[in-house]
Structure 1
């Protein structure tokens, strides 16, 4: 069964191959759209490599169980905070490359376009579309089990690349038919026009990922997680005769970070430490998600100043 790292590693190898072929065919055919497709893939490969490095660091931290290990002593809060940073950088880079390509495409349109070897361009577009569609389908299917944000973004990138090349197949096919029909005067506009339309479509696509990454970086509390934790805490306060609680939650990449401070009466009758631990276990089980990606702290105090 493939894990997150295997999927990302396979994607990087395929992306580098597509990027190299795209840049080569872009030069041979004279197509800015194909050259952009190759460049886009190259940027995506670099970002996938960075995502793979972070995924390996997170997995290594989770696998190392000894608190005295050099990894735990050096990075005591884990590597989860790197995940939204990489996702945000990835989405921003993809949008930035697309904006730059859009500017070049509009400039080329205004300058009268350029000639294009449609035969070479069509061969590239068909082969690349098949690879992109296959990778997008494979990663989407695998990620139903993995539920990885990295793999989800990578699959989206393959879908975007597939959409680009599908548009290229259609446009270059139309251009080839136009040359056969004697409409050569209009064919120089096809390549920059297609690139313009492609960029307008794909520029907004990574925005959702960039937005979620920003929320994670800013430690914004997800409404669903906050409501779940507060409901469980209110129930514990009522059942065990406590006064109130303070809940602090955040989602950072794949991790859920939760701090619960229960405020008790000064003469609270639950005194043995094992009873405190039993309540902690009960609350933790109700919250769920026990595993290496949950950071849960539960504190009892009679002084509200320790909770605020």
Structure 2
């Protein structure tokens, strides 16, 4: 097949995980800069918090990008990663839940700190606000956030990356938060010169406190998932699948039992299977045992660089415990 025909079959929209994260980091930096600048100009702590929150999110995205690159380099088949493999023979999957967990804790902590400041400001009588500048920022940020969420979600249909999935949730959360700010600022602008104008100084701290209450629990789901993976909690669905495959192998080949050990760490799936054979079985060649391993591996599925599969055969149950 000639080169033009091959190019015609290649989808034009095929971003990599690292590429998506790079674009997200650039967009996050833009939003963070807008938030800090417009927040200071308008006098809105809610906007400043939005900018600082975006800055923290962008910093964790940089770390996520570094981890994604490490995993991609580790899985590369060329000789350039040989030294990396020798230093980290167990791979880098364990870094993913660590980054996701730290990100969630950082963002939740920022929300708690901002909530305390909002309550203090509200009790002190609020603060004046330039609603026109605040509205310009909020409208621009909502558009950027929705565009980035759409881009990340579309890319992740093929990539299926936990990092990108969390990044998309972050952009959607940012869009929702900033949309709430936009509504509040429009209302604040509308009541200027009316009998309700006395409410204006309280709008910014009240909205900030409400936003923090909404934001705080959202990253905790990622923290819980990260803790489960760090603690090697057995994923139920994967364990059931491995048990089903192993049970069929035991019944088909006459083993007396098996032991299965399963964990999910980031994008990595770690599976260890020990099949217990009866004593006195006829000898088999290594090629025959390898063929059986291939059969079991195909039945388990998901053969990729992110699957760590160990299959052993023994007559001694203690080796399987």
Fold similarity call, TM over 0.5? yes
- 1:295 is aligned to 308
Q: For residues 218 and 67 of structure 1, what CA distance do their matches in structure 2 show? A: 32
Q: For residues 45 and 80 of structure 2, what CA distance do their matches in structure 1 show? A: 53
Q: For residues 137 and 82 of structure 2, what CA distance do their matches in structure 1 show? A: 50
CA separation of 1:113/1:67 partners in 2, compared to 1, >3 Å: closer, same or farther?
Answer: closer
Q: For residues 120 and 103 of structure 1, what CA distance do their matches in structure 2 show? A: 25
Q: For residues 66 and 141 of structure 1, what CA distance do their matches in structure 2 show? A: 33
- 2:30 is aligned to 17
- 1:80 is aligned to 93
- 2:178 is aligned to 165
| Alignment pair present for 1:148 and 2:161 | yes
- 1:219 is aligned to 232
Equivalent of 1:246, from 259, 280, 288? 259
SS, match of residue 197 in structure 2: coil
- 1:26 is aligned to 39
Q: How does 1:180-199 map to 2 (within 5 A)?
A: 180-199=193-212
Equivalent of 1:237, from 238, 250, 259? 250
| Residue 269 of structure 1, CA deviation | 2.4
- 1:205 is aligned to 218
- Where structure 2 has 5 or more consecutive residues not aligned to the other structure, the ranges are 1-13
Contact 2:74/2:81 (CA < 8 Å) preserved in 1?
A: no
Map Cα deviations across residues 131-178 of structure 1 (whole Å, 9 max, x no partner): 011111111111111110000000111111111110111000000011
TM-score normalised by structure 1 residue count: 0.97
| Residue 181 of structure 1, CA deviation | 2.1
SS, match of residue 251 in structure 1: strand
SS, match of residue 248 in structure 1: strand
Q: For residues 308 and 40 of structure 2, what CA distance do their matches in structure 1 show? A: 51
Q: Give the number of aligned pairs.
A: 308
| Alignment pair present for 1:6 and 2:19 | yes
CA separation of 1:270/1:286 partners in 2, compared to 1, >3 Å: closer, same or farther?
Answer: farther
Deviates more, 1:269-278 or 1:149-158: 269-278
CA separation of 1:77/1:134 partners in 2, compared to 1, >3 Å: closer, same or farther?
Answer: same
Deviates more, 1:234-243 or 1:246-255: 234-243
Contact 1:115/1:187 (CA < 8 Å) preserved in 2?
A: yes
SS, match of residue 185 in structure 1: helix
- 1:117 is aligned to 130
Contact 1:270/1:276 (CA < 8 Å) preserved in 2?
A: no
SS, match of residue 217 in structure 2: coil
Contact 1:247/1:260 (CA < 8 Å) preserved in 2?
A: yes
- 1:89 is aligned to 102
Contact 2:101/2:223 (CA < 8 Å) preserved in 1?
A: yes
- 1:278 is aligned to 291
Contact 2:272/2:311 (CA < 8 Å) preserved in 1?
A: yes
- 2:3 is aligned to none
CA separation of 1:94/1:68 partners in 2, compared to 1, >3 Å: closer, same or farther?
Answer: closer
- 2:53 is aligned to 40
Q: For residues 114 and 133 of structure 1, what CA distance do their matches in structure 2 show? A: 29
- 1:264 is aligned to 277
Q: Give the ranges of 4+ consecutive aligned residues of structure 1 lying more than 6 Å apart after TM superposition.
A: none
- Where structure 1 has 5 or more consecutive residues not aligned to the other structure, the ranges are none
Map Cα deviations across residues 91-120 of structure 1 (whole Å, 9 max, x no partner): 111111111111111111111101001111
Contact 2:45/2:208 (CA < 8 Å) preserved in 1?
A: yes
